[in-house]
């Protein structure tokens, strides 16, 4: 999702006067086509001839972020801001750099500065939402997304993010309301259906979760998170072997799926296999479950694996 938002940001930079706009527009098209190295080369060529082209620095910074060259990205955003201290896109880009590299206070400062320049910018709401989520400030994240929805009331991505934020804040009824709103706008939205099913799992309404996922015709070709959710709902509705198989298949596709190990830990506890339970609990923690989701696995470890 972040990459799509970065594309949105860089495709909407400011007016360009007295510069090579044809080459610049060609570089933007490379971003849309995911031709990152080609776009980077075009930006290099533009800036070799015109080293005061602010928007080209911002665009090149975006290419560097996507190409995992964060220090080069930071240099470009800093240069853009030295030339134009009130450049909204440069503050957003640098804020994203700080966020990706865990400089969270610096990221917040840049996003606040961007808000002082344009307080309705769509990318501002998204990136500050990501930041609040990373800081585990889920209530503030929800308020941020709600503010964005006042300006963009039918933005499906905003609704998806807020639905997920409600899940993280354990407000499952609100999460499902947003998901239903999404489905009223797009009845085929997979994220909304996934969130509804996951909420039913968290509410231990496994039959409802199973029916939602069954309606989606989930196969082993689907996303590993969705496969593991479906597998757990299968297990909890009596289809134990098929459910466990789905969870293990999700791990074949994505070995770092910490939530799959969390499900396997809970299944092992239900089957009173403490050795396997503690193995999956430790594996889930080692893969970052606590950082990315919740403290419940650590609670399980303290209770069962001393």
CB 24 within 8 A of CB 36: no
Q: Which residues contact 19 (CB under 8 A, 6 or more apart)?
A: 46, 50, 53, 55, 56
Domain holding 38, by residue range, is 1-135
CATH value at residue 43: 1.25.40.10
Task: Examine residue 217 and state whether it is found in any structural domain, yes or no.
Answer: no
Instruction: Report if residue 152 sits inside a domain.
Output: no
Q: pLDDT tens-digit profile of 146-203?
A: 988 988 888 998 899 999 899 988 999 999 999 999 999 998 888 899 899 999 999 9
On the question of pLDDT at 14 being above 80, the answer is no
**Where does the pLDDT of residue 3 fall: very low under 50, low under 70, confident under 90, or very high at 90 and above?**
low
For the entire predicted model, the pTM comes to 0.72
Let me know if residue 146 belongs to a domain: no
* Residues whose CB is less than 8 angstroms from the CB of residue 133 and which lie 6 or more positions away in sequence, other chains included: 141, 165, 168
Q: What is the DSSP-derived secondary structure letter of residue 68?
A: T
Residue 179 included in any domain: no
Could you give the angle at the alpha carbon of 288 between the alpha carbons of 265 and 167, nearest 5°?
80
Provide the pLDDT for residue 18: 58
What's the confidence (pLDDT) of residue 257? 93
Please classify residue 256 by burial: count the beta carbons closer than 10 Å to its beta carbon, then call 0-12 exposed, 13-18 middle and 19+ buried. Answer: exposed
Average of per-residue pLDDT across 274-301: 91
Confirm if 267 and 244 have CB atoms less than 8 A apart.
Answer: yes
Tokens representing residue 235 in the block: 């297990």
Number of domains in the chain: 1
pLDDT of residue 106 exceeding 90, the answer is yes
Select from 79, 95, 84 the least CA-distant residue to 5: 95
pLDDT, tens digit, for every residue of 45-75?
Answer: 999 999 999 999 999 999 999 999 999 999 9
Q: pLDDT tens for residues 214-250?
A: 888 877 777 888 999 999 999 999 999 999 999 999 9
């Amino acid at each position: 999702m972040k990459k799509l938002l970065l594309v949105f940001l860089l495709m909407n930079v400011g007016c360009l006067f007295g510069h090579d706009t044809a080459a610049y527009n060609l570089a933007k098209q490379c971003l849309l086509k995911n031709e990152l190295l080609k776009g980077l080369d075009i930006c290099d060529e533009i800036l070799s001839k015109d080293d005061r082209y602010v928007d080209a620095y911002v665009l090149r910074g975006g290419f560097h972020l996507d190409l995992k060259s964060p220090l080069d990205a930071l240099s470009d955003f800093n240069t853009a801001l030295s030339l134009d201290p009130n450049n909204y896109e440069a503050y957003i880009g640098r804020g994203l750099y700080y966020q990706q590299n865990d400089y969270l206070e610096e990221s917040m400062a840049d996003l606040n500065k961007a808000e002082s320049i344009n307080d309705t910018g769509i990318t501002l709401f998204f990136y500050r939402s990501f930041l609040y989520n990373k800081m585990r400030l889920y209530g503030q994240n929800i308020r941020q997304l709600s503010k964005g929805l006042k300006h963009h009331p039918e933005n499906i991505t905003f609704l998806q993010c807020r639905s997920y934020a409600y899940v993280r804040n354990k407000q499952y009824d609100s999460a499902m309301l947003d998901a239903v709103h999404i489905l009223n706008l797009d009845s085929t939205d997979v994220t909304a259906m996934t969130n509804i099913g996951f909420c039913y799992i968290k509410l231990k309404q496994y039959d409802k979760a199973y029916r939602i996922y069954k309606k989606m015709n989930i196969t082993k070709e689907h996303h590993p998170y969705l496969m593991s959710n479906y597998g757990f709902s299968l297990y909890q509705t009596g289809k134990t072997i098929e459910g466990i198989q789905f969870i293990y298949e999700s791990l074949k596709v994505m070995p770092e799926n910490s939530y799959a190990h969390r499900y396997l830990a809970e299944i092992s506890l239900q089957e009173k296999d403490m050795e396997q339970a503690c193995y999956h609990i430790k594996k889930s923690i080692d893969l970052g479950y606590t950082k990315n989701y919740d403290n419940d696995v650590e609670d399980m470890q303290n209770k069962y694996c001393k």
